[in-house]
Structure 1
C-alpha cells in the first residue's frame, strides 16, 4: 500500500495511454491479469498495469503517477510480491526480454523481464555461467537487487558481487546508467536495496567459467531426520569453501512433479553443490551418505544448466507463507530445538523448513553494497502452502519456529527471503546506518515519493 500524501485525483489511464508505447490495462481489461503474482496469496489490484516495452515507458509512467498522486510498483514474475492497491500503478517488465552473451568479455546484458534459466542456457553454450539462486525460474533483476544468495554462495559469493552496471529509472523518471565508478552511491544501494532507488530495466553481469558442478540432493526418510540433522551440523563445521549445502525437512504433496518416494510423506533433503574436483567433492560428501540409506540420491556431476535440481524449488504459482531469520551459530541445543518444533513427529504443517550453511566467499564480501548480513552463519526458512486443511495452522507454527530459534538468531533477514513493507521487517533486513543512507538517497532521487510502495527504505512522513 502506498504512502503518498496526495490522494489519487483522476483516472491515470488516458494519460498513460498517451505517454507509453506498451499496453496499458485497467481492471477487467486484457493485460490486467498480468498483475496476478506467483504468490497467489498476495492481493494485487493496482489502478492500472503498464506492460513496459522500454525505459522510456517506465519514465513516462513515473511522471504520470506523480501528476495523479499515485505510486509506482514493479513486477516481473511476482515471486516476491507484496500487496498493491488502487493507489499504485504496476509496471510489468516481462516484455523487456533482451539477453546478450559476450563470451569474449564473459558478460551478459540482461533485460528486466528475463528469468535466470534463459541466461543459464545461453551462457552454457560458451561454457559460462551466471551466479544464480536456487530457483532459476525467478527474475534476474529482483534477485540481484536483493543481493542474491544462491546454491553456490560459499564458493562464488553473492550474485550482486558480479554486477557491472544497472540501467535505472528513478522516481522522477530520470534514466541513469549506474556503475561503481560513475554512480557509486546508487550502485551500492541497488545491490541489496530492492526497489528503494527505482526500477531497473537492464543489467550487465559477469559470467564465470563454470560448465559443470558436483551437486544434487540426498533424500532420507523422516525416521532418519533427527540423525541426519545432527550429523549435518557436525559435518558443516569443517566444510571447504568449494561446497555450499542446505538441509530441509520436507512434507511434499502427492503431485505429478513430486517423485513417488518423496510424495505424501515426511523426508529430509541434504542439498549439496561443489565447484571443486568431483572426486574430492564426492569424498567430502561421504560422511552424509553414511548417516543412513537415502530413499533418493541425485548427487553427481551435473551440467550447470541443471543447477535448479539441487533445491528443486516449486515452479507453479501457489499461495505460500514464508518466515525467515538468520543464525549466528548452530549449536547442539539449536539442533535439538529444530527437531522438537519442526522434525518428524512435531506436527509441523510446513512444506519446507530449511537451514542453509553460509560463510565462505559471501562472508569475505565484494564492493560496497546495501547487504548487511555477510557475517551470518546459517539461514533458517519456513515455507507453508496455504491450502486446507493446514492453511490456518501455518502462520502460527512458523512464528513458533522462529521464536524457538531466537536464542541463536542474529535478528536479521535477507531481503529476498522475507519480502515485506512494514518497518519492523525492513529493520531486520538492514542495519540502522544502511537504512539511513538508503532513505536519504531515495529522497534525493524520488522527492515526490512515487516509489513509496513495497519493499523500500524511506524516511517516515509526518
Structure 2
C-alpha cells in the first residue's frame, strides 16, 4: 500500500461511527440549515459533531484529504457561498456550566446566548451577550463580541479565561493566556482561522437587572438627520455604564408585520444601562425631544428580558451586511447613507450605529482591533449580494474619510473582502501565527487571514 492509499484509508476511518453526511444523504439539507439563507452551502462532507473527539476526527479527515474546513453553529455569519470541503456543525455541542462563585461559565461550541442567559440569571449574573439570543456564543466571542453592555464591560473576548481548541494537526489543546499566549491572542479576534474551538470559559458579570429598551419615532414625521444629530450630541454626555445604538429601518407594508410597524420608517434609539431606573430616565430625557414617540419600551427589566431591547428577528432570512468603524460620526456625511437605505431604497435595509468607547478602548491581550473607534456603522440589506453591494458600497464610501476599519462580528456574506478587518500590525502578527499553526491554511472557509 502506498502512502496516498494509506492516507485515504486513514481518512475513511475517521468517518466510522460518527454522524457524517454527504450530498444526497437523508438529513444533509436539514443539517446545513441556518439563520442566514442567502448563501448556498454544499460541502462535500458534513461532520455533525457531538463532542470534541468528533471535531478532532473531522479536522484529521480534512487534513488527510486536503479539504478546507468550515464551522457552523447557528449560521448567522456565513462568509458567503461555498462548494466542497468539510463543514463541521456544532449545534449538538450545547453544554453550559455556570460557576457562580467564580462568576464564570463554560460553554460548548453550539451554545446560543439565550441558553447562557437562562443559566446565569438564577445566580444574579449575566453573560456579555449580544442583542440576539439565537446567536452562537463561541463564534460571536472569537470575532470580538460587541454586547449590549459593551461600553461598561468591553468586548466578550476580553473576558475569556480558557479555550479548548482543535488545531490543524488534529490535536486537542486547552489554551490560556499563560499556557499559549500567542495562540490565545490570535484565537480571540481571529475568528475561525486558527482552529475549531469546542468550548470556552468566560466571565459572567453581576448584573441581575437593567434599565433599557428603545424609543421609536416615525421617520416620515421626525427628520432622520435631525434625530441623528441629536443622538450624536447626546452620546457625548452619557457615562460609560450606558450602551446605546441608533437605528433606521423602513418596514414593509405586508401582512404579518406588527400593525405599529407596518409600512413605517422607524427611527429608534436603543439603550442598556446598569444604573437605577431614575438615573436612566434622566439620562434619556433629551432623546424624547427628537419628536413624537410612536413606541416606548424603556423600563427597568430583569436581565432575562434584555433581548427585548433590540427585538432582533428570530426567523431565518436572506441578508448581506458589512460595517465601518469610525473615528468620528460626521452626521452631515451620513445624509447619503440614510438616503440610500431609507424607504425609497430598492430593498429593505437596516442601519444601526453603535456608540463605542468606554471599556471597549481598554488594552487587552487579544487581537480584537480598532479599539480607538468612536462609532460602528452597521448596514444590512435584505436581498441578494449583488443588489446589496450596489446599495451599500456607496454608503460606506461616503464614510471613508472617518473609517478606520471594519468589524468581523458584522461582516455578513462579505467573505471575499478581508481588507480593514484588522490594522496593519495586528494583521501582520496574525498572518505570522497563521503560518505557524495552520501552514496548509486548512481553516480557510471564513474571513481568511493570509500573509
> What band does the TM-score fall into relative to the shorter chain?
over 0.9
- 2:394 is the alignment partner of 1:400: yes
TM-score, normalised to structure 2, is 0.92
In the alignment, structure 1 segments of 5+ residues that lack a partner are: 1-5
- 2:427 is the alignment partner of 1:435: yes
With 263-272 and 326-335 compared, the bigger mean Cα shift is at 326-335
Distance in 2 of aligned mates of 1:428 and 1:306: 35
Q: What residue in structure 1 maps to residue 32 of structure 2? A: 35
Aligned to 1:374, what secondary structure does the other structure show? coil
Q: What residue in structure 1 maps to residue 241 of structure 2? A: 242
Q: What residue in structure 2 maps to residue 56 of structure 1? A: 53
Is this contact kept in 2: 1:23–1:31, CA < 8 A?
no
Aligned to 1:217, what secondary structure does the other structure show? strand
2:93 to 66, 91, 96: 96
Q: What residue in structure 1 maps to residue 312 of structure 2? A: 313
Q: What residue in structure 2 maps to residue 327 of structure 1? A: 326
Distance in 1 of aligned mates of 2:282 and 2:322: 34
Q: Report how far residue 151 of structure 1 moved.
A: 1.7
Superimposed CA distance per residue, residues 361-410 of structure 1 (whole angstroms, 9 cap, x where no aligned partner): 10124x211111111111111111117xxx87433111121112223222
Aligned to 1:229, what secondary structure does the other structure show? helix
Distance in 2 of aligned mates of 1:64 and 1:335: 49
In the alignment, structure 2 segments of 5+ residues that lack a partner are: none
Superimposed CA distance per residue, residues 64-106 of structure 1 (whole angstroms, 9 cap, x where no aligned partner): 1122111111111011113464441101111111101111111
Aligned to 1:264, what secondary structure does the other structure show? coil
Q: Report how far residue 243 of structure 1 moved.
A: 0.9
Counterpart mapping for 1:103-182 below 5 A? 103-182=100-179
Q: What residue in structure 2 maps to residue 372 of structure 1? A: 369
Is this contact kept in 2: 1:32–1:48, CA < 8 A?
no
With 306-315 and 185-194 compared, the bigger mean Cα shift is at 306-315
Distance in 2 of aligned mates of 1:327 and 1:12: 50
Distance in 2 of aligned mates of 1:229 and 1:85: 38
Counterpart mapping for 1:402-421 below 5 A? 402-410=396-404, 412-419=405-412
Q: Report how far residue 343 of structure 1 moved.
A: 4.7
Aligned to 1:216, what secondary structure does the other structure show? strand
Distance 1:145 1:428, change over 3 A: same
List structure 1 segments (4+ residues) > 6 angstroms apart after TM superposition.
9-13
TM-score, normalised to structure 1, is 0.90
Q: What residue in structure 1 maps to residue 78 of structure 2? A: 81
Distance in 1 of aligned mates of 2:13 and 2:62: 9
**Considering only aligned residues, what root-mean-square deviation do their CA atoms show, in Å?**
2.3
User: How many correspondences in the alignment?
Assistant: 443
Is this contact kept in 2: 1:355–1:380, CA < 8 A?
yes
Q: Report how far residue 421 of structure 1 moved.
A: 6.9
